[in-house]
Chain A
Amino acid sequence: MSLKKVHDKQPDDFEFTKENLETANRILKNYPKDKKKSAVMPLLYLAQEQNNNWIPLAALKYLGKLLSMPYINVYEIATFYTMYNLSPVGKYFVQVCTTSPCLLRGANELVKTCQNKISKKQETLSENGLCSWTEVECLGACVNAPMIQVNKDYYEDLNKNDMEKILESFMQDKPLKPGSYRGRLSSEPEINEKKPNGINNA
């Protein structure tokens, strides 16, 4: 991990859409009125969702004003947490888990596939601009290792071939279905023994 890069080309303005402003106000209600700035993290996430999965500086300023907190404090928070993107990511943002369990189950292969299929360096857009990838820490799906997160979906139990297929589908903007790629239902045990009462994997 290195210091997050702030994108060179920044939009001039940022404002919440009407729906998002309503959501923001709903979030603000969760906190006492004089502790408005507690809402900064959910609102940053909201801003990220609204702006194609990355947060422009204008949004940080906008949130600073909205929550009456200094701009530098919003900036500090946005640069501290890795899940806020400060430069554009692809429409399909591939996050490869490389923490120990995934690594033991071959996450390195997935990283190599990303390097070949999307871009040499992480956090850079693919040539057609649809995809970008990054290595992340544990995403909490160790039972289904190795796995990737793409936007809000998990693709699990992967191997090199599956990964190639999946990435290919993103590059053509026809995404494959998320879930386990070894036919598992969520994280059920892998050995399919028939139990005496006739239920699988009970």
Chain B
Amino acid sequence: MPKIIINNKEIEFENGMTVLQACELAGAEIPRFCYHERLSIAGNCRMCLVEMEKSSKPIASCAMPATDGMNIKTNSVMVEKARKGVMEFLLANHPLDCPVCDQGGECDLQDQSLYYGFDKSRFKENKREVKDKYMGPLIKTIMTRCIHCTRCVRFATEIGGVTEIGAVGRGENMEITTYLEKSMESELSANVIDLCPVGALTSKPYTFEARPWELKKTETIDVMDAVGSNIRVDTYGWEVKRILPRLNNNINEEWISDKTRYACDGLLKQRLDKPYKRENGKLVESSWDEVIKITSSKLQEIDKECIAGHIGDMQSMENIYSFKCLLDSIGVSNFDFREKPFFINPENKINYIFNSSIKGIEDSDCIVLIGANPRHEATMVNARIRKSFVNNKIPILSFGNPGDLTYEYKIIGNSTEDIKKFINKQSPYSDIFLKSKKPIVIIGESALELQSGGYIFEEIKSFLIKNNFINENWNSLNILLQNASSVGAIDLGFHGITKKENFNFFKKLNDNNFKLLYLVGSDNLDFIKNDKFIIYQGSHGDRSAQIADIILPSPAYTEQNGLFINLEGRLQKSNRSSFPPGISKEDWKIFNLLSQQLKNSDLFKNFNELRNNALKNIKDHSDYDLLPNTSISKSKSIPTDYKNENIIIKEIDYYFSNSIARSSKTMSDCRSVRSKNLKQRTGT
């Protein structure tokens, strides 16, 4: 390995590293603004200047490739002077806004001017002033503060896949602007706020809300989709002020989607804080004793065959498991987690998770989407696919039309007949697929929802097994589930799937067989109420609470501890960061109360007992934060129906997909801006 001398210390480095990376390896800190590990190198802030032997001028370490035998100094007088000079220039046009700037306290410019800057300014002329730009409902701009690092421009182009931000003009007059001053059409747009090293791009909903040092920070897991992005929740009192991404290279790298970040204001609105019951068609306030009594008597009275349970999209493993235990104890067998009738084969873990893993997407050399729109169904997975596409220019093929995915792909079929041809090697694209070494097939819920959903899944699986694409080293079969609770619910057996019939629950629901429906945080289930008695247990007064007869308030995902399994089968801990409003009770405690009323015994003694029991029931469980130890079953598939039909990818209302997002003002702003942009483009 080549060697480099940094501050008189010789270290080895890998070929292809820059001087800055080598310096970091040697433990020498280099200040920087424009350089970012995950973005291309711009080299325009000049903050990372270091001294190189035999060079009369200091060099920009971020843009200079390290070579064997270089002698670098990062603490010499020359470097110090250079940094001071650069800092003075950067601050020449930077306003003295710090006391009223939202970036204050977590500002790179502030910190670095403290450590590397010059103590006073010699700039006597007028500072320049730049008009603020409109960048949508999420990003507040104060462009006078901009130091032209172009991180936002590079992020939008390279990672977001939307070339909508650019730098216009030149020199001192350079300005960062969006395409015709409209909001960025990306689900990752708000990440530019984190990237901005100064206060030019700040969070609009968080404007003047709090200072970073006042907030309590809790590391936890996101539940807006099945990806399980790692987040940090910042709270002030009980209010969740903001959500920031946490680095996890296996899942979300250091980005999160706008929904993850900004649905949090929904946690403050439309909350259920007291138990309610319906009297004469109106919901009236009630007490815990009363609602527990009504609920348990209803559960006792009604025939067990006519009672059904449904678990919502953001429920933890503990909630699912304790709910199942409650239903089991009273002999109810009608329950499900699915919001739409899509086919699932729960026999083996590889049948319902994203086996290639999110990181594995980067190694893939061919991606086939079947009835999936990863951009809206799992934004971070889509970002990974784009990364893979940009780095390796891999072919991406799609059955069905998912719309703009921020990268190029080819639609190779619109009907199940096309999939059949693909499997039977009659399609010209079968060859591309079979020749690839690490292909990925991503089956979306929309495809599994088709009448031939079962056929598609089983045939694709046996096709992959036949061609040795499912083996110990690589598993090409991927199911893209949309809800954070889905994999956990399948693992714990919270579904009414039998070998013969996949849709027991939905058949009975549509035949109006149920008299009592117990919904735990479930707001997206589509059904007609008729004369059903509906118990809603959840955090938000959303769709289901409106039709409920009994409302049992429980905390939202930031307000209770829980385990979540993401779509890869990775088990992660979600931590309580705030407390719920009013007198709501944790879900498992509500089930305990009901069990006491019904059976005179607790379901669980404490939360730990519940968690341990739930853990025991996880299939192929390995450890926290790790992928599961899946075993490959080559069992013969269940024969399923085939019908020639069109693959329609169901558009999900991205900004309104769950009860928290629907209560959020920020999300509804985003939604109306998006639909306005859409109308302008189509001209309707």
Do B173 and A1 touch (CB < 8 A)?
A: yes
**CB contact between B166 and one of A2, A4, A72 (< 8 Å): that residue:** A72
Do B171 and A76 touch (CB < 8 A)?
A: no
Tell me the minimal C-beta distance from A135 to chain B in angstroms: 15
CB closest chain-B residue, reference A4: B169
B88 beta carbon closer than 8 Å to chain A: no
Do B170 and A72 touch (CB < 8 A)?
A: no
A73 to B153, CA, bound (A): 11
B153-187: contact bitstring with A at CB < 8 Å (1 yes, 0 no)?
A: 00000000001111111110101001100000000
CB closest chain-B residue, reference A78: B168
CB closest chain-A residue, reference B131: A3
Report A-chain residues with C-beta under 8 Å of the C-beta of B179: 70-72, 75
A51 beta carbon closer than 8 Å to chain B: no
Report B-chain residues with C-beta under 8 Å of the C-beta of A1: 171, 173
Report A-chain residues with C-beta under 8 Å of the C-beta of B166: 72-73, 75-76
A80 beta carbon closer than 8 Å to chain B: yes
Tell me the minimal C-beta distance from A98 to chain B in angstroms: 17
A2 to B164, CA, bound (A): 23
Do A79 and B169 touch (CB < 8 A)?
A: yes
A73 to B167, CA, bound (A): 9
Which of A4, A70, A73, A79 neighbours the largest number of chain B CB atoms within 10 Å of its CB? A79
A64-103: contact bitstring with B at CB < 8 Å (1 yes, 0 no)?
A: 0000001111011001100000000000000000000000
Which of A3, A73, A80 neighbours the largest number of chain B CB atoms within 10 Å of its CB? A3
CB closest chain-B residue, reference A82: B170
Do A3 and B173 touch (CB < 8 A)?
A: yes
Report B-chain residues with C-beta under 8 Å of the C-beta of A4: 169
Tell me the minimal C-beta distance from A84 to chain B in angstroms: 12
Report B-chain residues with C-beta under 8 Å of the C-beta of A71: 179
Which of A72, A73, A80 neighbours the largest number of chain B CB atoms within 10 Å of its CB? A72
**CB contact between A80 and one of B163, B164, B165, B170 (< 8 Å): that residue:** B170
Do B168 and A79 touch (CB < 8 A)?
A: yes
Tell me the minimal C-beta distance from B181 to chain A in angstroms: 11
Tell me the minimal C-beta distance from A10 to chain B in angstroms: 12
CB closest chain-B residue, reference A71: B179
A75 to B167, CA, bound (A): 9
A76 to B178, CA, bound (A): 11
B132-170: contact bitstring with A at CB < 8 Å (1 yes, 0 no)?
A: 000000000000000000000000000000011111111
Tell me the minimal C-beta distance from A74 to chain B in angstroms: 9
Contact count band on A? 10 to 19
A3 to B176, CA, bound (A): 12
CB closest chain-B residue, reference A70: B163
CB closest chain-B residue, reference A81: B170
Do A72 and B173 touch (CB < 8 A)?
A: no
Total interface residues on B, using CB and 8 Å?
A: 13
Do A3 and B168 touch (CB < 8 A)?
A: yes
A76 to B173, CA, bound (A): 12
Do A3 and B169 touch (CB < 8 A)?
A: yes
Report B-chain residues with C-beta under 8 Å of the C-beta of A75: 166, 168, 179
Tell me the minimal C-beta distance from B248 to chain A in angstroms: 31
A192 to B86, CA, bound (A): 53
CB closest chain-A residue, reference B165: A72
Report B-chain residues with C-beta under 8 Å of the C-beta of A70: 163-164, 179
Tell me the minimal C-beta distance from A85 to chain B in angstroms: 14
Tell me the minimal C-beta distance from B174 to chain A in angstroms: 8
Report A-chain residues with C-beta under 8 Å of the C-beta of B167: 76
Report A-chain residues with C-beta under 8 Å of the C-beta of B165: 72
A75 to B180, CA, bound (A): 10
A165 to B57, CA, bound (A): 51
A2 to B174, CA, bound (A): 9
A1 to B169, CA, bound (A): 10
A169 to B178, CA, bound (A): 44
A106 to B508, CA, bound (A): 94
A4 to B179, CA, bound (A): 16
Report A-chain residues with C-beta under 8 Å of the C-beta of B164: 70, 72
Do B163 and A73 touch (CB < 8 A)?
A: yes
**CB contact between B163 and one of A2, A3, A72 (< 8 Å): that residue:** A72
Do A76 and B168 touch (CB < 8 A)?
A: yes
A151 to B171, CA, bound (A): 26
Report A-chain residues with C-beta under 8 Å of the C-beta of B169: 3-4, 79-80
Report A-chain residues with C-beta under 8 Å of the C-beta of B173: 1-3
Tell me the minimal C-beta distance from A4 to chain B in angstroms: 7
A170 to B278, CA, bound (A): 87
A75 to B168, CA, bound (A): 7
Tell me the minimal C-beta distance from A128 to chain B in angstroms: 31
Tell me the minimal C-beta distance from B214 to chain A in angstroms: 38
Tell me the minimal C-beta distance from B185 to chain A in angstroms: 12
Which of B163, B168, B169 neighbours the largest number of chain A CB atoms within 10 Å of its CB? B168
A71 to B177, CA, bound (A): 12
A2 to B172, CA, bound (A): 8
A14 to B680, CA, bound (A): 20
Tell me the minimal C-beta distance from B166 to chain A in angstroms: 4
A1 to B550, CA, bound (A): 69
Report A-chain residues with C-beta under 8 Å of the C-beta of B175: 3
A80 to B173, CA, bound (A): 10
Report A-chain residues with C-beta under 8 Å of the C-beta of B170: 79-80
CB closest chain-A residue, reference B169: A3
A2 to B168, CA, bound (A): 12
CB closest chain-A residue, reference B173: A3
CB closest chain-A residue, reference B156: A72
A147 to B164, CA, bound (A): 41
A1 to B170, CA, bound (A): 9
A80 to B170, CA, bound (A): 5
A1 to B174, CA, bound (A): 11
Report A-chain residues with C-beta under 8 Å of the C-beta of B171: 1
A10 to B164, CA, bound (A): 21
A70 to B169, CA, bound (A): 17
Report B-chain residues with C-beta under 8 Å of the C-beta of A3: 168-169, 173, 175
Report A-chain residues with C-beta under 8 Å of the C-beta of B178: 72
A1 to B167, CA, bound (A): 17
Other A-B pairs beyond A72-B165, A79-B168, 6, CB < 8 Å: A3-B168, A3-B169, A3-B175, A76-B167, A76-B168, A80-B168
List 12 A-B pairs, Cβ < 8 Å: A1-B171, A1-B173, A3-B168, A70-B163, A70-B164, A70-B179, A71-B179, A72-B164, A73-B163, A79-B170, A80-B168, A80-B170
Nearest first, the 5 A-B pairs at minimum CB distance are A70-B163, A72-B166, A79-B168, A3-B173, A3-B169
